Structure 1
Amino acid sequence: MMRVVVLGAAAGGGVPQWNCGCEVCRASFADPALRRTQASIAVSADGVNWFLINASPDLRQQVIATPQLHPNEGALRHSPIAGVILTNGEVDAVAGLLSMREGSPFTIYAHAKVLAVLRANSIFNVLNEQVVRRQPIEIDRPFQPALPDGSPSGLEVTAFAVPGKAAWYLEGQTHPGGDAPDGDTLGLTITDKASGKTIHVLTACARVTDELKERLAGAALLMFDGTVWRDDELIAAGLSHKTGQAMGHIAMAGDEGAIAALGDLGIAQKLFVHINNSNQALLADTAERKAVDEAGWTIPHDGMEVTP
């Protein structure tokens, strides 16, 4: 039976962001229940071996807070984490890899463009490739991530291209992975081989296309980009000069927002992840949260386990 744990539900910087005095951050500095670490998800087919979807900068803290990811009792060196599947090359998706440098075997699965970003930055050489394999994944070609001993994990994963953009720190630079249009922003379809149940994970998505709707329809679980409530919210709040679209993220609200676009697809469970500290839907007593709840979406807390 597939199990899914939300290790962190926040966008880059977390909630509260260390240097932010916005309404949501002020509230979460005061109330630990409102705090969220940066987005990462753990998935397992057997409840014993786990694969991470992205490795957030908060990964060490997330592992400590998640008993499912603790080393086996009596083992001197061990981790249930068998692999990390990267959906993009943003800081909030890859920085946690640096906390996994102590010699335990696992595999990094990522598109060749994202692997090129890691290869171009020598700090990731602390992950010895003789111990930590880097395996390229191809768009729309299913693969079965393996356990460290090579045995099957019980999961099948298909990566697919979604509208988005390259990591912000690559803006204005030559991309280490070349100029191909796809590969920087991926969604994942993860299927439990035993039950046939399918989940979809999209931590970044700039818009919902008809093709994407067709792909997501009828899923047991969707974990979807919830960065901003409205496209111009960071500008309106005085936090940034960028819109959600400029950052490669769709808004929750609006005629072309995620709630409207994904509202009638027969998806059993819908969770927003990668939620920015500017997003009022994080606060339980707001009109934004009420609208999210009424539309059948969930704002998850860190450590929340979901069974599709």
Structure 2
Amino acid sequence: MHVRVLGSAAGGGFPQWNTNVGLNRQLHEGTTRATARTQSSIAVSADGERWLLVNASPDVRQQILDFPALRPAPDTRGTGIGAILLMDSQIDHTAGLMILREGDTLPIWSTRPVYEDLTTGLPLFKVLEHFCGVDWHEIDTAASGFAIDGVPGLSFRAVELSSAAPPYSPHRGDPHPGDNIGLIVTDDATGGQLFYAPGLGAPDDEIAAIARAADCVLVDGTFFTETEMIDQGVGTKAAATMGHLPQSGDNGMLTWLAQFPGTRRVLIHINNTNPILDPDSPERATVEEAGVEVSYDGLEIKL
């Protein structure tokens, strides 16, 4: 299985367009070895030719241009993207669908709550009907697995994650199963297994069993501390309030990941406030000493 990290940052990317504090400012001034990152998304493939785009971030155009496998062959118009799968209905993971309107009908896989959000509160699917159109396929989180047309050689299973629906969702404040999912991807030939969960904020025993069985986990790396945005004066909400599990603390992500020493552990969806973006920071050293990687745009993983 080929896995490509197209974007590794949280919403707004790094640097965020309206932020000139902390690492954002250092990046602008060239006083840090941290590197710019686009908003989180990955692509997976069994053969390296036909790819599943997992989430369509607002940065999808640049991500495609930066990855030749997703671009058309010479003298043709097309793409290596065989299908699209949405983990949730957040703007950061769906707005890029509008960029893809210039191609053929988009084969999109999502849960029903995500479909409902994208046809009501944020009606991207309805807008796309006037352009390329959408061929929607429902993801059943109760199913033991499913295949995706256009991306042969891979099998998938979705698991429900605890989360809140976006502000524009008809059931904001009333969480529905399937608002946010984790995705298990298995290579049918090699048996290699990836667990992708950029929105993992409250892991339970079922999620722990999945992580233990996987060869690689790509999980939420948004914040290093619970009060990171508050401490830096750029927000008023704590990590837990936003549905994220910070890396630090006795019950933090690093402690949870320590249960799986035999699994490759990688953080993705990293906020512009998170000091682990700086490779010279003590926080980055803490993460690396724990045997955990910090993803970056262009990271490639083979399973």
Q: Is TM > 0.5 for Structure 1 vs Structure 2? A: yes
Alignment of 1:113-132 (within 5 A): 113-120=113-120, 121-128=122-129, 131-132=133-134
Q: Which residue of 2 aligns with 1:146?
A: 149
CA drift at 1:208 = 2.1
**One-letter amino acid of the counterpart of residue 135, structure 1:** H
Distance 2:302 2:274 in 1: 26
Alignment of 1:160-179 (within 5 A): 160-167=159-166, 169-170=167-168, 174-175=170-171, 179=174
Q: Which residue of 2 aligns with 1:111?
A: 111
Distance 2:280 2:142 in 1: 41
Unaligned runs of 5+ in 1: none
SS in structure 2 at match of 1:41 = strand
SS in structure 2 at match of 1:100 = helix
SS in structure 1 at match of 2:119 = helix
Match of 1:250 among 242, 245, 249: 245
**Residues 180 and 260 of structure 1: is their aligned pair in 2 closer, same or farther, counting only changes over 3 Å?**
closer
Q: Is the 8 A contact 1:218 1:267 kept in 2?
A: no
Q: Is the 8 A contact 1:27 1:34 kept in 2?
A: no
Q: Is the 8 A contact 1:9 1:40 kept in 2?
A: yes
Q: Which residue of 1 aligns with 2:99?
A: 99
Alignment of 1:142-291 (within 5 A): 142-147=145-150, 153-167=152-166, 169-170=167-168, 174-175=170-171, 179=174, 181-291=176-286
Alignment of 1:17-36 (within 5 A): 17-31=16-30, 34-36=35-37
SS in structure 2 at match of 1:104 = coil
Q: Is the 8 A contact 1:222 1:267 kept in 2?
A: no
Match of 1:137 among 119, 136, 139: 139
Q: Which residue of 2 aligns with 1:53?
A: 54
Paired residues, number:
298
Q: Is the 8 A contact 2:113 2:176 kept in 1?
A: no
Q: Which residue of 1 aligns with 2:14?
A: 15
SS in structure 2 at match of 1:217 = helix
When the two structures are superposed, what TM-score results if normalisation uses the length of structure 2? 0.93
**One-letter amino acid of the counterpart of residue 299, structure 2:** M
Q: Is the 8 A contact 1:159 1:187 kept in 2?
A: yes
SS in structure 1 at match of 2:118 = helix
> Greater shift after overlay, 118-127 or 5-14?
118-127
Question: What percent of counterpart residues are identical?
Answer: 36
Distance 2:104 2:5 in 1: 23
> Greater shift after overlay, 23-32 or 57-66?
23-32
Distance 2:124 2:159 in 1: 28
Q: Is the 8 A contact 2:2 2:45 kept in 1?
A: yes
Distance 1:306 1:197 in 2: 11
Distance 1:122 1:293 in 2: 41
SS in structure 2 at match of 1:146 = coil
SS in structure 2 at match of 1:101 = helix
User: Deviations 1:212-252 (Å, cap 9, x if unpaired)?
Assistant: 11121031111000000011111111111111111111111
> Greater shift after overlay, 220-229 or 133-142?
133-142
**One-letter amino acid of the counterpart of residue 41, structure 2:** S
